[in-house]
Structure 1
């Protein structure tokens, strides 16, 4: 049993560290910009959000898109406001989270 669990635990630790490193990089790149967009009462278009974030579609899928959604939820919860729903919706469209709107 130890021979099976030791490599499995090591793999899980490595995999979690890799995912958290990706999330930290994502948060550093887009966190402040999304916070500014979500806190602003001005309704931005999709093109304006794309220009502000400089987002380039890297073909993320699976767990990476989960972390994009996590970043948006954490950022949105910091500045909860009914007026900025349009900006959140524009950011979701720009980042490609269509199924979660």
Structure 2
């Protein structure tokens, strides 16, 4: 007879999927930047932020400084691309 744990929880694989999707969208954004499609790069980079590459259960105040800096720089790049896109649109 084998013993099983009745209270065992299923393994949480959200972290792996989130990191994979984050990396995929960032790489797709790099491709769009290389092909000079600023609007597609900006949107994919912004969507990548939804899939936080770090532990999503940790609140912002409890995150290490390098994670906060990474996410702030990522968001700054998105806003920078948005600014470039709007400037190009207004310059037409």
Q: Structure 2-normalised TM-score?
A: 0.36
Between the two structures, name the one with larger relative contact order (CA 8 Å, sep ≥ 6): 1
Q: Structure 1-normalised TM-score?
A: 0.34
